[in-house]
Structure 1
Amino acid sequence: MWKKECGQFCREIHYKRKEEGIEITGCFGEDGQIVLPDEIEGLPVISIAPYAFAEAKTDQDDLIWRNKEVPDIKVDRHAQEKAERICAEQVESVWLPKGVTEIGRYAFYRCRNLKTLILSDSLLEIGGGAFTGCRLEAVEIHFFQGEKSCLRSIVDEIRFAVRARLFYEGEEARVLFPEHYEEAVENTPARLLVTHHHGAGGYYRQCFYDRELDYKKYDELLYRTRAEEELETAVELVMNRLCYPYRLEPAAKDRYKTFLQECLKEAAGILAEQENQDGLMFLEREGLWTLEALEAAMERAAQSKKTEVLSLLMDMRYRCFPKKQKTFEL
């Protein structure tokens, strides 16, 4: 799962040597898809410097690693730094080195277009404001040493919906942290400000203990999702847990399935619209389909021109609800 090719790396990486390894201070490349090597000059990359991707400044004391597999662009050195340093709004995705244990403060400050972050469980410390001004949507964490990670620190900084893919030894979990926000409302007679919480995301962000995600506590919050989130969000969250049931207890699975059965027609249409083939196949595998729900999903797929999903649903209809052959009596 964790395999990088040299051709993926940035064309030029600026760094400093520390006692334990390498600290990245900046990158140059052709686009905002940043893939950083696990080692530079035979030393492990262990940290990302403060403000590394937040601004275009370059320290004259930085060392430089150049990717020999990426053609160099012959331009004036000063102009090259000014035009091609990947920072701020240019950053779109980041694949961190496997051995990174620390991200400095404000490392990705105002990287507004940063949507995807890939990292390992070596990273447990994140500097203050590291993702301030970001709208991170997807986090992928690979676990090699247990189940501790910096996931809580990340989702605490992002109030928008965050989708996490967590890779353990031979297993994958997918969890959704819904959007949430807080609103200060004045209670004029009492001269107090009362904080109102909106969305279930704040509760899901509390499902951690000692830097480990508490799946049992996460699964107990379905009632919050049902009460405070749109059906599309609830369906996505539920299908993530059912299709990737890491540490999913039988009682929680039953609650999730009951929820689906109660809104099966609407949920099936949402899955078709989202092209969630894993979810649609789960409904067949668990024997949850009704003819009405299946036909509703087919109609939604046809309206949305999701031809691949429509073909899948037509095959399911044939298997789940075959037409009875007519018989004739002589």
Structure 2
Amino acid sequence: MRIQYRIRDGYAEIVRCFGTGETVVVPEKIGEITVRAVAAYTFSDKKSSEDQDVLEYRTEDGFLEEDREQLLAGEKIAEVVFPETVQEIGNYIFYGCRKLKKLTFSDRLYRIGSGAFTGCGKLRELNVFLMDGEKSCVKEILGELWQRIDVTFYRKYVKIVDQQDVNLQSTDPQTVNQRSADRETEVVKLVFPEHYEEAVENTPARILFTQHHGTGNNYRQCFYSRELDYRKYDELFVLAEAQEPRDVLEDLVFWRMEYPHGLSKRARKNYETYLSGQLGQIVEHLIKTDRIDRLGQISVYGLWKEDVLEAAAVSAADLGKAEAAGFLMNERQRLFPKKTGAKKRKFEL
């Protein structure tokens, strides 16, 4: 990859990237210079003119791409990865990137230029590495986007190990220096549903009022001082259950239970109640979409009902889903072994 950059206050600022493929991995350093900023319009093809006062750097694999390289901007990029050294990105950096789907960055990115995500209607995934705490710029990014966004937090913490307490955890530097420490990562996956606004006219009164659709705006308000409030996030489920489609609810519930950071007992019970109440329909969808992992989660959570499990095994076999059918039949035998001479019953999902 060929990179255009400039030196600013002793650090490198990326201006343009050239290469092949749809994924751009911004380097941490250019030579010995740390990359701390990415300039305005870097990944946009709407830039009015190209910068002249730039330096160039080519990565080691760039020489192999030289005859095929192109400006990595606009619809030519689908994913961008920022290193943890990047602290700011400029105005309209992704303006017109209509095929951008995934963005990776850390909590050390604290400044986002205005209009950064204008036209990024297909952006669906944010991968966020929390290196220094719980605060990040996720709220600012979500505020510019109306569509559903799936956010994965990678929470870094230090696990302290000594002879007295192998389970002790701490982020205090002094404590870390006193004991042997290993860096650990905890994953948290969250759904932020879509939302949109509609101007509705009250003709007799000659006034316009704004009508909100979807719970996405509510979920985007679950941040306090750039830190996500998990309690508030979970409390919104009663609203989401009434408004969001099943696929959104399914992801939201399974992810919160699989990655339960900040999940209270009450919130977990609410999610379990939803799964139990919709178990037949959910299982049918999981079979059709080959989500064996989530069928396994239902077993882990102890939510199977005998009639649903038996009907699911039959349905999976009828659909030719051999792996799902095998798993479900094994669970049926394990959880509800048939008694000798028991009368057969027919169930439907």
Shared topology, TM-score over 0.5?
Answer: yes
Quote the offset at 1:286 in angstroms.
1.7
Other-structure match for 2:56: 64
The one-letter code of the counterpart of 1:105 is: N
- 178, 191, 196: which one aligns with 2:193: 178
Deviations 1:237-290 (A, max 9, x none): 111101110110111001111111111111222333344444322210121011
Deviations 1:187-220 (A, max 9, x none): 1222221100001111101111000111000000
For residues 153-164 of structure 1, what are the structure 2 equivalents within 5 Å?
153-164=140-151
- Does structure 1 residue 28 correspond to structure 2 residue 18? yes
Other-structure match for 1:128: 114
Number of aligned positions between the proteins: 311
Other-structure match for 2:130: 143
Other-structure match for 1:7: none
Query: Contact (CA 8 Å) 1:243, 1:278: kept in 2 or not?
Result: no
- Does structure 1 residue 237 correspond to structure 2 residue 259? no
Query: Contact (CA 8 Å) 2:4, 2:55: kept in 1 or not?
Result: yes
Other-structure match for 1:6: none
Structure 1 residues 171, 288: CA separation in 2 closer, same or farther (over 3 Å shift)? same
Query: Contact (CA 8 Å) 2:19, 2:65: kept in 1 or not?
Result: no
Other-structure match for 2:9: 19
Q: Which moved more, 1:182-191 or 1:107-116?
A: 182-191
- 202, 220, 223: which one aligns with 1:208: 223
Quote the offset at 1:138 in angstroms.
0.6
Quote the offset at 1:291 in angstroms.
2.8
Distance 1:306 1:206 in 2: 41
Query: Contact (CA 8 Å) 1:100, 1:123: kept in 2 or not?
Result: yes
The one-letter code of the counterpart of 1:118 is: T
Other-structure match for 1:86: 72
TM-score (norm. length: structure 1): 0.87
Structure 1 residues 301, 233: CA separation in 2 closer, same or farther (over 3 Å shift)? farther
- 114, 120, 143: which one aligns with 2:100: 114
Other-structure match for 2:210: 195
Structure 1 residues 298, 62: CA separation in 2 closer, same or farther (over 3 Å shift)? farther
Distance 1:304 1:58 in 2: 56
Point out where structure 1 has 5 or more consecutive residues left out of the alignment.
1-10
Distance 2:91 2:106 in 1: 19
Other-structure match for 1:44: 34
Point out where structure 2 has 5 or more consecutive residues left out of the alignment.
157-184, 343-349
Distance 1:49 1:151 in 2: 19
State the superposition RMSD in angstroms.
2.2
Distance 1:246 1:142 in 2: 15
Quote the offset at 1:146 in angstroms.
0.2
Distance 2:268 2:232 in 1: 13
Other-structure match for 2:167: none
Q: Percent identity?
A: 41
